[in-house]
């Protein structure tokens, strides 16, 4: 545990943060933007290490079209979730971040062929880490706290290994490319050295 204030125990995709901002204000398709723009969040002056951002991998993230819906659908089903595929160019129900990111409503995750695999897992993991009593009422914004946000990021990395053609290393690289911000500079550093709280949260919920 690093001796930083709790406010800096933050990974990037804070729905809690976004509660104060209209979703429309959020960059909708980070890979199409200049690096740096996508990281323009209040975290930049806190946990995020801007000097490391130049090292971020600039590659195309893996999409559902690349691995198909079958394996993700089976993985989600094993965790009590349903994956619904959405037609190309159709709106994605329950989508908080804007298409092509995945959407969530109750126990259902919605995604298109152009939805990044990391996004599908991220939103699915939000449903898994949420208080089970709350899941049925979840619509669009699944996150309840920064604690859940971190646990979600951790679990999505773990579950990536269950998807052939994806896996942990690609998940970490895609998270960096997409603009997830971690105070240690990259997803792998956070996952390996700064995620004790997330691990403890998931173990307490029986998810690890």
Q: Which residues bind to Zn ion, rule: CB under 5 A?
A: 13, 15
Q: Tokens 């914004």, residue?
A: 141
Nearer to Zn ion among residue 112 and residue 118 (C-beta): 118
Nearer to Zn ion among residue 26 and residue 68 (C-beta): 26
Distances (CA, A) of 36 to 44, 163, 183: 10, 29, 15
Residue with smallest beta-carbon separation from Zn ion: 13
Nearer to Zn ion among residue 18 and residue 68 (C-beta): 18
In whole angstroms, how close is the CB of 97 to Zn ion at the nearest point?
Answer: 9
Nearer to Zn ion among residue 13 and residue 188 (C-beta): 13
Six-digit token pair at 17? 């943060």
| Cα separation, 13 vs 102, whole angstroms | 13
In whole angstroms, how close is the CB of 3 to Zn ion at the nearest point?
Answer: 26
| Cα separation, 105 vs 120, whole angstroms | 13
In whole angstroms, how close is the CB of 150 to Zn ion at the nearest point?
Answer: 9
Say if residue 100 is preceded by a cis peptide, omega within 30 of 0.
Answer: yes
In whole angstroms, how close is the CB of 13 to Zn ion at the nearest point?
Answer: 4
Nearer to Zn ion among residue 13 and residue 53 (C-beta): 13
DSSP string, 78-129: HTT-EEEE--TTS--TTBSS-TTS-EEETTEEEE-TTSBHHHHHHHHHHHHH
In whole angstroms, how close is the CB of 152 to Zn ion at the nearest point?
Answer: 5
């Amino acid at each position: 545990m690093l001796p930083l204030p709790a406010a800096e125990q933050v990974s990037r995709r804070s729905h809690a943060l976004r509660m104060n901002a209209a979703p429309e204000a959020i960059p909708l398709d980070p890979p199409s933007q200049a690096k740096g723009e996508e990281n323009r969040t209040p975290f930049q002056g806190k946990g995020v290490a801007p000097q490391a951002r130049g090292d971020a991998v600039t590659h195309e993230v893996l999409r559902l079209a690349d691995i198909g819906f079958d394996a993700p659908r089976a993985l989600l089903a094993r965790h009590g979730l349903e994956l619904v595929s959405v037609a190309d160019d159709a709106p994605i129900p329950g989508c908080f971040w804007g298409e092509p990111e995945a959407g969530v409503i109750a126990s259902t995750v919605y995604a298109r062929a152009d939805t990044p695999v990391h996004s599908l897992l991220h939103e699915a993991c939000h449903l898994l880490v949420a208080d089970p009593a709350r899941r049925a009422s979840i619509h669009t914004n699944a996150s309840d706290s920064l604690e859940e946000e971190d646990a979600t990021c951790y679990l999505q990395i773990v579950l990536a290994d269950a998807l052939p053609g994806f896996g942990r290393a690609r998940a970490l690289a895609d998270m960096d490319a997409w603009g997830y911000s971690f105070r240690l500079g990259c997803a792998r550093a956070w996952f390996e050295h700064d995620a004790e709280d997330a691990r403890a949260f998931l173990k307490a919920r029986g998810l690890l």
